[in-house]
Chain A
Amino acid sequence: MHLQRHKLMALTEYLAPRPAVPERCLRPAAGPQEEENGYARLLRRQVEEVFRDSRMIAVCQYNSMPGDDMVLMRHYLRKHNIEVKFFLNEIVRPVLSQSRYKNLLPLFVGRNILLVSPETKAKEMLRVLKGVPQVSLLGACIDDTILSRQGVENFAKLPPLEASQGQTVGALALLPSQTCSLLQHGAAHLTALLDRHIRQLRDGAGEGGTPAGPEPAQSPGAP
């Protein structure tokens, strides 16, 4: 009985069906495509808006800072209408690679913050950042021009637009103002000499002495 039972059990043992082609030889089915995260899309749109609406975008490296200092720094920058924005690199990189700011891509490695502003107050920004050693300025894009740190410092040293416009106008107007006096110089000199000559003749006639010989006439347009 025992033996018969064994034989029966062995006969009726379950044999798993083997696939004709082993699974590892087949191409794996493509997994379900990851749906684009709506939040990521929103952040990307925010990044595009920021880049579109601000004239000055500064990228700084952010080393961890105590919270109070961070609040103070944000406060001082806000006074000059500069906002501090945090964006994740994986959001910013795809946006930048498709826009015209491709050359800013190597800056977005590690922890960064963006200082954005619709105005270009570079001097005030540098002054605030000097007081915060944990944040180092890497580069900036001011009025669609990518600048390095040195470039931003030079930009901050430039005089304001009105002053430089005044200087340009003054420099351009200098030469024409000289032309007028140059042209009149010869005739004016001749007039002065003739005047003096007449005075000398008059004085000579008044004293009764012989009048002084006529001075040779100066040719006009003397150098």
Chain B
Amino acid sequence: MAGRINVVLRPVKSIVVRFCPFESNVESTRKFLECISRKKIQATNRNCEVTADVRHDGSEPLVDVMFADGDRLIMKGANLTTVEMLTALGSRCNTKELKAEQKSKKNP
């Protein structure tokens, strides 16, 4: 299921996935990282840096997305599923894409 969601990363500047692998609530965050690193999604934006920050301090798993227009999306993955995180990111990317397209149509 999570493999079929396609996210367009064009409006995204960088994604930092922070988790502590010895905790038990990191499965969805790790799966999210795997899905984001797939070839198809990475191909939508080569300049988007995906970094994995592996710590051992018992902190909650976190996904920090920085968009090109300065917005920031922080998802705390402890109680979220992979699909929820991907759809949230995907919907925000789509709205930003639409906005950008409309802007470019207005100013040719």
What residues make up the interface of A, taking CB atoms closer than 8 Å to B?
Answer: 61, 63-64, 66, 103, 106-107, 109-111, 133-134, 136-139, 148-151
Which A residue's beta carbon lies closest to that of B30? A110
Which A residue's beta carbon lies closest to that of B36? A63
Which residues of chain B from 11 to 56 have any CB-CB distance to chain A below 8 Å in the complex? 21-24, 26-27, 30-31, 33-34, 37-39, 50-52, 54-56
C-alpha spacing A101/B39, complex, angstroms: 34
A106 x B22 contact (CB < 8 A): yes
Question: Which residues of chain B are near A103, meaning CB under 8 Å?
Answer: 22
Question: Which residues of chain A are near B21, meaning CB under 8 Å?
Answer: 61, 106-107, 138-139
B27 x A110 contact (CB < 8 A): yes
Question: Which residues of chain A are near B30, meaning CB under 8 Å?
Answer: 61, 109-110
B37 x A148 contact (CB < 8 A): no
| 30 contacting pairs across A/B (C-beta < 8 A) | A61-B30, A61-B34, A63-B33, A64-B34, A64-B37, A64-B38, A66-B39, A106-B21, A106-B22, A106-B24, A106-B26, A107-B21, A107-B22, A109-B27, A109-B30, A110-B27, A110-B30, A110-B31, A111-B34, A133-B50, A134-B37, A136-B54, A137-B54, A138-B54, A139-B22, A148-B22, A148-B55, A148-B56, A149-B54, A149-B55
Question: Which residues of chain B are near A106, meaning CB under 8 Å?
Answer: 21-24, 26
Query: Interface code B51-93, partner A: CB below 8 Å = 1, 0 otherwise?
Result: 1101110000000000000000000000000000000000000
B8 CB, min distance to chain A CBs, angstroms: 18
Give me the 3 closest cross-chain CB pairs, A-B, nearest first: A63-B37, A148-B56, A138-B21
Classify chain B's interface size: 10 to 19
Which A residue's beta carbon lies closest to that of B25? A106
C-alpha spacing A150/B20, complex, angstroms: 11
Which B residue's beta carbon lies closest to that of A108? B21
A93 CB, min distance to chain B CBs, angstroms: 13
Which B residue's beta carbon lies closest to that of A138? B21
A153 CB, min distance to chain B CBs, angstroms: 11
Query: Contacts A64-B39, A139-B22 given: A110-B34 contact, CB under 8 Å?
Result: yes
B56 x A63 contact (CB < 8 A): no
C-alpha spacing A139/B54, complex, angstroms: 9
Question: Which residues of chain A are near B34, meaning CB under 8 Å?
Answer: 61, 63-64, 110-111
Question: Which residues of chain A are near B23, meaning CB under 8 Å?
Answer: 106
Among B23, B30, B51, residue most surrounded by chain A Cβ atoms (within 10 Å): B30
Out of B24, B27, B38, B52, name the residue touching A136 (CB < 8 Å): B52
14 additional A-B pairs beyond A110-B27, A138-B54, A149-B56, beta carbons within 8 Å, are A63-B33, A63-B37, A63-B38, A64-B37, A103-B22, A106-B21, A106-B22, A106-B23, A110-B31, A110-B34, A133-B50, A136-B54, A149-B55, A151-B56
C-alpha spacing A148/B89, complex, angstroms: 30
Question: Which residues of chain B are near A110, meaning CB under 8 Å?
Answer: 27, 30-31, 34
A66 CB, min distance to chain B CBs, angstroms: 8
Which A residue's beta carbon lies closest to that of B39? A64
A61 x B24 contact (CB < 8 A): no
